[in-house]
Amino acid sequence: MVTRVPPEPFRIKMVEPVRVPDSDQRERALEAGHFNMFGLRGADVYIDLLTDSGTGAMSKQQWAAMMMGDEAYAGADSFFNLKKAVKEVLGFDHTIPTHQGRAAENVVFSALVKPGDVIPFNMPFDTTRGHVFNSGAVPAECVIDEAFDRANPHPFKGNIDIQKLDKALADNKGRVPFVMITITNNSGGGQPVSLKNLREASAVAKKHGVPLFLDAARMAENAWFIKNREEECRNMSVAEILKATMDTADAVTVSCKKDPLVNMGGLVACRTEEMYFKIVPKVILYEGFATYGGLAGRDLEALAVGLREMVDEQHLTHRIAQVRYLGELLEEGGVPCIQPIGGHAVFIDAGAFLPHIPQGLYPADVLSVEIYREGAVRGIGLGALAFEDVDEKTGERTFPKLELYRLAINRRTYTNSHMEYVAETIVNVFKRRESIRYGLELVYEPPVKGMKHFLAHLKPRDL
């Protein structure tokens, strides 16, 4: 039995027409885009599940708030409205706006990280990992082992392993500027982190005198999972759980293009003035003055409203059920998905879907190509192409444990009929999976570590 998705808690007021390109158009688009989903044009895609970032629909309250945008370079009212919303929803006294999440990472990493440092994570997402390398540091992945077991139904597969974390901190004394936990864990299947785990991680970090940062792009979805899966939080509201989540951390970086429901925006928020003054010069250097951080006043206003809207439980219940609905339709068709289904996306185990394609020939990206070819649906491979490590001297490749294909669901954008179309498309590919007899090889890769999957040119190679 698949989930019954509750009726949408919104009416659709404006539509964006989309069309299904015919198969000739799809073939031309694949060639022109070098078989990389980032190379396709939006107009060549029917259902675009490349990302849930900046692709959601704003509410009428957000659009109305935009009209109140105060465009002062320094000290705009809109900044103070945002600061008030951050204090109210997240509890932090200090807010630094940035133009998006990776910009928040950039100001934090450039202020606090130096070459040779080690940053313990549950798992970093791709751009975050890129920032670690760009600062001359390395990530130490400490997620629990269950995260790598596709069918394991552990309710909090995003949890950090407290022993691994303690060891990483002890082994790298003096070289850890902060611990960072991604909520929900995007690279590991959109899996939540429990409040208990965050509290334990916070205590361990404190014991070692190291601050805890949260990469909190999907913090409201994480809080919803806590409410539904963590016994002691059952009677708390999502808003209360979110506050309690934030209480475990010294600071957050947020891509506001996800849960906070804006099309562009990010922020850093922190507890102490000392940390604020360490970070804020970098925002001026890279983003804009401290009270706008690369955003227009109207963007700050829409974000202030979005932060309050994101904890609406009807919205979250509908959204997470819609994602699960897609996952269940796929599972029903035999498609191997990461269990439990994540908050913002369904992650297909591309390694299990196409077991005859060696990981070095990027099976997750072959799956991207085939699903696009079948139904003009765009998802994204999150496997070896995104996360492999290649030894600079020997060329030896180390592959990630997970070879995933992600369908990220835009917030308040697609209907359940769209989900059914996507599932049907993918089940059709699944039925003909054994006839897919090629892999992909690199023709071009950019010279910056961690950026390969965004810019790679690929070409098919027969098995």
Residue 444 makes CB contacts below 8 A (sequence gap 6+) with: 34, 455, 456, 457
Q: C-beta of 232: minimal distance to ligand F0G in Å?
A: 26
| CA distance linking residue 98 with residue 105, whole number of Å | 9
The answer to whether 222 and 192 have CB atoms below 8 angstroms apart is yes
Q: C-beta of 142: minimal distance to ligand F0G in Å?
A: 16
**77-89 and 238-247 helices, crossing angle to 10°:** 90
Of positions 125, 178, 224, 421, contacts ligand F0G by CB under 6 A: 125
Closest CA to 362 of 447, 442, 451: 442
Query: Strand, coil or helix: what is 79?
Result: helix
Binding positions for ligand F0G, 336-365, rule CB under 6 A: none
Instruction: Examine the residue annotation and report whether 453 is marked as an active-site residue of this protein.
Output: yes
**416-431 and 313-332 helices, crossing angle to 10°:** 20
Instruction: Examine the residue annotation and report whether 126 is marked as an active-site residue of this protein.
Output: yes
Say if strands 377-378 and 47-48 run parallel, antiparallel, or are unpaired. parallel
| Ramachandran class of 91: left when φ > 0, alpha when ψ lies in -120 to 50, beta otherwise | left
Of positions 134, 255, 410, 425, contacts ligand F0G by CB under 6 A: 255
Total of chain residues touching ligand F0G, rule CB under 6 A: 16
Binding positions for ligand F0G, 159-198, rule CB under 6 A: 182, 186
| CA distance linking residue 59 with residue 314, whole number of Å | 14
Residue 42 or 395 with smaller CB distance to ligand F0G: 42
Of positions 26, 34, 94, 102, contacts ligand F0G by CB under 6 A: 102
Q: C-beta of 98: minimal distance to ligand F0G in Å?
A: 9
Residue 266 or 375 with smaller CB distance to ligand F0G: 266
Say if strands 404-408 and 345-349 run parallel, antiparallel, or are unpaired. antiparallel
Q: C-beta of 234: minimal distance to ligand F0G in Å?
A: 26
Instruction: Examine the residue annotation and report whether 73 is marked as an active-site residue of this protein.
Output: yes
Residue 53 or 134 with smaller CB distance to ligand F0G: 53
Question: Is residue 370 a contact residue for ligand F0G (CB under 6 A)?
Answer: no
Q: C-beta of 123: minimal distance to ligand F0G in Å?
A: 9
Of positions 59, 78, 106, 127, contacts ligand F0G by CB under 6 A: 127
The answer to whether 183 and 222 have CB atoms below 8 angstroms apart is yes
Query: Strand, coil or helix: what is 344?
Result: coil
What mask of x and - would describe binding to ligand F0G in positions 206 to 245, judged by CB under 6 A?
---------x-x----------------------------
Cα 250–259–137 angle (5° rounding)? 45
| Interaction site with ligand F0G (CB under 6 A) | 51, 53, 100-102, 125, 127-128, 182, 186, 215, 217, 255, 257, 266, 408
Q: Which residues are catalytic?
A: 73, 125-126, 215, 217, 258, 453
